[in-house]
Structure 1
Amino acid sequence: MTILERVYASGGPEVIIPTLELTCDAWDEPILICAGFEDQTVVDENGVTKTFIAAGIDVALPKKGNTGNQTLTFAIDNITGAAQRQIDAALEAEERVTLIYRTYLSSDLNGPAEPPYRMTVLGGTMTGTQVQIEAGYFDLINTAWPRDLYTTTFAPGLKYL
């Protein structure tokens, strides 16, 4: 049993710290947010040290099942106008926004407690000082099968059918 499994099962002196990293090619630097009241300096899975700004974060993970819906919802409180300007810049440039969700334990900030989730932001709403972001990490329902497209360029013999 890992420390993270023990914390989920029975608690302990450790605290789980969820973090969000939002990146986009239209931005100069990513948005780094962590849950809690204190900013956290952590090391990511690549060994890069990052400082996350404390904010109120709520994460709604999807139910486990065979529905194919793998959309996660994140609510972030106390968002300033700077975040709104970055969101507007991403919309204007029509660039993809990527979200990385990591969990750390307060006893070990030298690496994530579990592998990070890399997702694409699908949408979101902003009301007052709160932002709700919807992100998905695999769209099973809209995945083409077979994944390779058989065209005359890929398979020249098709033009004789």
Structure 2
Amino acid sequence: LVEFTASYLFGLFLGGDYINKMMQKQKYGKKMLEMQENKKDASVFLMRFITVFPLDFVSLFLGSSKYNFGKYILFSFLGLAPRVILFTILGDKIYDYIPMKLIMTICLFAIPVAVIAIIIKAAVDKKRKKNESNENTADKAEMK
């Protein structure tokens, strides 16, 4: 928790522009930026749960984007808890039982699919709402 807090505060101090430039240069920085734009709370949990993203970069990024500190600590803890519990119980042998490459591959494919599904749902909802408003306008015109 101390490390997360220190990195978060450092990101908050440095500000968004500097951290965003640094993130763009990193291998997974662009993916983190995309995740953060779509679903903030879920993205914090996923970035902590998936071991692909370096912990310090996530903390710096969230601090620089002025993400709510209480939610940051909560979702960071929830995202890391399963891994910490498994390591405590099984130690390093956990990697013998869990195919991490497969899990990372599935997650990296699932995230864009989820983003596309959310965009499609939003477009359909917007179109449906527009059609309903047009029908209501037409009904009011017929009443007059």
Task: Give the TM-score category using the shorter length.
Answer: under 0.3
The one of the two structures with greater contact order (alpha-carbon pairs below 8 A, sep at least 6) is 2
What's the TM-score once normalised by structure 1's chain length? 0.25
Length-normalised TM-score, structure 2: 0.27
Q: Over alpha carbons, which structure has the higher Rg?
A: 2
